[in-house]
Amino acid sequence: MTSSTASKRQKTSSSSSEGEGAPYELLYWPGIPGRGEHVRLCFEATGTPYTDVCNASKSNMSQLISLISDKNTGDETNPPTLAPPVLRHGGLLISQTPNILLYLGKRLGLAGAEGDENAIYHVNQLALTALDGLGTEVHDTHHPIATGAYYEDQKPEAKKKAEDYIANRLPKFLGYFERVLEAQASRGGEYLYGGQITYADLVLWQCLDGVSFAFPKAIGGLKKSGKYGKLFALYERVKGLEEIKEYLGSERRMGYGMGIYRHYPELDSE
Amino acid sequence: MTSSTASKRQKTSSSSSEGEGAPYELLYWPGIPGRGEHVRLCFEATGTPYTDVCNASKSNMSQLISLISDKNTGDETNPPTLAPPVLRHGGLLISQTPNILLYLGKRLGLAGAEGDENAIYHVNQLALTALDGLGTEVHDTHHPIATGAYYEDQKPEAKKKAEDYIANRLPKFLGYFERVLEAQASRGGEYLYGGQITYADLVLWQCLDGVSFAFPKAIGGLKKSGKYGKLFALYERVKGLEEIKEYLGSERRMGYGMGIYRHYPELDSE
């Protein structure tokens, strides 16, 4: 793209919406992948430039802190933020992971084929399901009683919760996505929806990666069962994409820490 | 509207999308408001005709059962359903409450002002936040360990979870929405976003109504504190809308039962 085309595109876009053409900025807790990782993966998979604000410089944390402060009442157009991740795009500020993905999905070509106007509702459904069952519920296995308290203060309850999660919930969600993939495969599709990669695939990939980190034995067992062949094949397919491979090998990809996905051996299968 | 206008409108719509002009059908567990109630309220508040399939006839339950069966692989365009509520609109089948609301929001005029193209992301953010913090988390107070087990089998954990919810989570979420409303009020707005009612207001209303049923003492105390004046005023404002008043007095509005919002006195404040 020549620079004149670029500036032209920017001008055209900004007339229809303030934020278009502006840089994409992610604000999330630094040092852990967390829910921010779903947003990062959309940018990385599509080679879209973005700034990971709080990882770019320690001093930028103050921006996130002031956004989620209970003194913040938002501004003329944006309601205040309750929790990160936050996406800043020009004058637009939005939060809630599936909401940010919804916003980025169409813009980055990750929401299904162009002419399929209902694709976004199918992709959103699949992403919400993965985020619930393989994200939030995994967090609850180490914090079943109080999000604001330490794991060490809710260990017996966490053990019970993790047992139920591994025995009942994990197979339920993996089974659902395996079924989605089987139906797609019968029509020649290798992704969750519409025969092409969408952000639902990226969300599911990240969730599977996180759950595998948290419960390596449980996931190992489910993998061996052979019941989820298409799902684990999708995992490898996404991991093997050029852009993703490059990203995973870069310093931008962070290790799991004390976030949603934690590895406590005592919570895993025996 | 004359019948010729009506048929004309229907024709115009169906040319742009297969499902437009088709009847709206909600499929959800019969006899309880549950998550289906968020969908019902969108129809009721806007006087939009819809069929509450499983409440219309007992025999219709088989339709929902076959949708959520683990043998269901969806069809040519729709991925399978994991859980209700499900919206059927012509050939379209979608699930996940915030996803159905997203689909209906623009169609029913509940997603902000026409020219405000980013309104949907603000409304979706607010709805997701209410559904998480005043919906899913409330369900978890009586089922902190295992969704598929009885409350009676997780009572001690439920008590701990409910104590934390009432002490920490509930004020956090109510405080957030109070802040959103304060900011709107400073610009003359009486609703959560953009000076007009959106589906986020309806979601918040239903959540507040449900939490008040589950924890009447806790909510009574928070109301008396005077810290959430705008929030409880919004609750009364929505309740007083003609269409909502009519709906709440009708047989279509169901009492709370063994769903998300349950009243166990032992879990409430003392």
* Pair (A158, A236) in one structural domain: yes
> φ, ψ for residue A177 (rounded to 5)?
-70, -35
Nearest CA in chain A to B104: A121
- Give the mean pLDDT of A127-147: 98
Flag whether B144 is in a domain: yes
pLDDT at A21: 86
The distance from CA A239 to its chain's CA centroid, rounded to whole angstroms, is: 14
Closest CA–CA distance from residue A34 to any residue of chain B (Å): 17
Does residue B95 share a domain with residue B23? yes
Q: Which pair of tokens denotes residue B169?
A: 């989570």
ipTM, two decimals, is 0.93
Residue A67, domain member (yes or no): yes
Asked if residue B232 and residue B154 are part of one domain, the reply reads: yes
Nearest to A78 by CA among B180, B29, B251, B26: B180
pLDDT in tens, B25-84: 999 999 999 999 999 999 999 999 999 999 999 999 999 999 999 999 999 999 999 999
Rounded to the nearest integer, the mean pLDDT of chain B is 93
Give the pLDDT score at B16.
39
Chain B residues whose beta carbon lies within 8 Å of the beta carbon of residue A192: 79
Q: Which residues of A touch B153 (CB under 8 A)?
A: none
Two tokens at A166?
């591994």
Asked if residue B197 is part of any domain, the answer here is yes
- Are B140 and B60 in a shared domain? no
Residue A13's pLDDT band (cuts 50, 70, 90): very low
172-211 in A: which are within 8 Å (CB) of B?
Answer: 172-173, 175-176, 179-180, 182-183, 186-187, 192-193
Residue A19, pLDDT score: 57
Q: Which chain A residues are within 8 Å of B17, Cβ to Cβ?
A: 117-118
- B127-140 mean pLDDT: 98
Residue A22 region, left (φ>0) first, then alpha (ψ -120 to 50), else beta?
Answer: beta
> Are residues A164 and A91 both part of a single domain?
no
Neighbours of B254 (CB within 10 A): 17
Gap between the Cα atoms of A6 and A8, Å rounded: 5
Q: Is B3 a residue whose pLDDT tops 70?
A: no
What is the least distance, in Å, from the CA of B145 to any CA of chain A? 5
**Residue B246 falls inside a structural domain:** no
Least confident of A31-35, A130-134, A236-240, B10-14: B10-14
Provide the pLDDT confidence category of residue A11 given band limits of 50, 70 and 90: very low
In a domain, A32, yes or no: yes
Partner-chain residue, chosen from A82, A94, A128, that has the shortest CB–CB distance to B99: A128
Provide the 3-class DSSP secondary structure of residue B86. strand
Does A98 sit behind a cis peptide bond, omega within 30 degrees of 0 on the bond before it?
no
Q: Residue A257 domain-assigned?
A: no
Mark whether B88 and B7 lie in a shared domain.
yes
The total number of structural domains in chain A stands at: 2
Q: What is the model's pLDDT at position B21?
A: 86
Q: How far apart are CA B176 and CA A165, in angstroms?
A: 30
CB contact under 8 A, B102 and A98: no
A126 and A90, same domain (yes or no): no
Residue A115 class from Cβ within 10 Å (0-12 exposed, 13-18 middle, 19+ buried)?
A: exposed
Domain boundary among B107, B138, B160: B107
Q: What percent of chain B has pLDDT over 70?
A: 93
Cα A28 to Cα A190: distance, rounded to the nearest angstrom: 31
Q: Which domain holds residue A22?
A: 8-107
Does A51 fall in a domain?
Answer: yes
In the predicted model, is pLDDT for residue A106 greater than 60?
yes
Of A57, A82, A107, which marks where a domain is finished? A107
Q: What is the CATH classification number for the domain harbouring A30?
A: 3.40.30.10
**Are B17 and B42 found together in one domain?**
yes
pLDDT band at A174 (very low <50, low <70, confident <90, very high): very high
Helix (H) or strand (E) segment spanning residue A26: strand A24-27
Q: How many CB atoms lie within 10 A of CB A19?
A: 21
If asked whether residues A169 and A222 sit together in one domain, one would say yes
Work out the pLDDT band at B19, boundaries 50, 70, 90. Answer: low
Indicate if A141 and A236 belong to the same structural domain.
Answer: yes
Chain A to chain B Cβ contacts (< 8 Å): 149
Residues in chain A, total = 270
Residue A113 lies in a domain: no
Cis peptide before A79 (omega within 30 of 0): no
- Whichever domain contains A157, its CATH number is 1.20.1050.10
Q: Distance from B144 to chain A by nearest Cα, in Å? A: 6
A72 and A101 together in one domain = yes
pLDDT of the residue at A3: 34
